[in-house]
Structure 1
């Protein structure tokens, strides 16, 4: 974390990682969806601590998780990773930090970044731009480094808001109920009002399936079905482990 300004002839060095960048993106997605960290974790059978560590960049993000999430938020898998790459390229090319200090941002491997976070005490980290302590770039500190264009693309990660009662139902969804949603999507005929106006009576019988289906906003052209198909398999594997 940092604040204030720093005047020195030497460049200030910051370090970050792809996991930290992805964590920032996930934070923006989750907040746009109006979902708490604990509930976001429950959607994917993760503990609150595990999901929180992903947002902080302490845990590398699994590609399966991103693919499933992209299915739910109705974004192309490629959109997520193109933005991740563009943010990484931007950060490593900046020459001045948000406080006009000359700087350099180094991208280090996720494993090294996680060790750095886990093995160092709070005394080792800078609370302001510093040349003699490690300046870790995570969370909203990183956001300050982004260009207006990248900030706009962050906002475009999702325009979906999920109501609390929907979240509670989706958390309880089973693999069979996810499959019911997939089949309903395949049979849906879009009208001018979109998916939410399609009558799925008789196709979806559970509150959890209806809650997930009702969050969908966009035409099926987006890779919703593929992402939900993986989500179904993920739920199935978790169910099998409980047996």
Structure 2
């Protein structure tokens, strides 16, 4: 769960109700830790993992996730780490099991690193996330949303000397509006998240995909990108 200096991300409805979504921390130099909250506001259950696949540099948000192609996991998760050597690791709550990505970047992470990680976070209907008791903890950021909408976040992370804001903005559809921007900074790494809420008609919701969908996109060399997706509840 979040460390004392973690930056928490909240969804706020009706300007008074806060719901936990995620937290970020630069735990060590050039190391990024990401955590998601479950629908109850506590540690999430990793329900499914989709097979890793190669995609184009511009492909991401439109990819389909069919439950029949996913592997069922059902494990409580504490956090996800992107280490300085580019290894991705999912740490379970009991610390007895880890899910490690075995492809590493050839370039170590640091202040001059270009975009080394993209995330897509797609929430469930906001109203299914449990509201917190009392005020939000700080440091924190929040996004104002309608309770019956869902939110899609697109995030990019790079070294602090890279213009990650411009790179992320270039991926946003020119016709899209109402994007909210959230920034994360440490001494060596930075990230920008852009979120957009959208209506979610009941008849379009796949009940088997209940929870928060997280997709991680990362370069494996100068021209190829891979994606791995997870469903947390």
Could you state the TM-score of these two structures normalised by the residue count of structure 2? Answer: 0.23
Higher helix share: 1
Give the structure, 1 or 2, with the largest relative contact order (CA under 8 Å, sep 6 or more): 1
Could you state the TM-score of these two structures normalised by the residue count of structure 1? Answer: 0.23
Is the radius of gyration larger for structure 1 or structure 2? Answer: 1
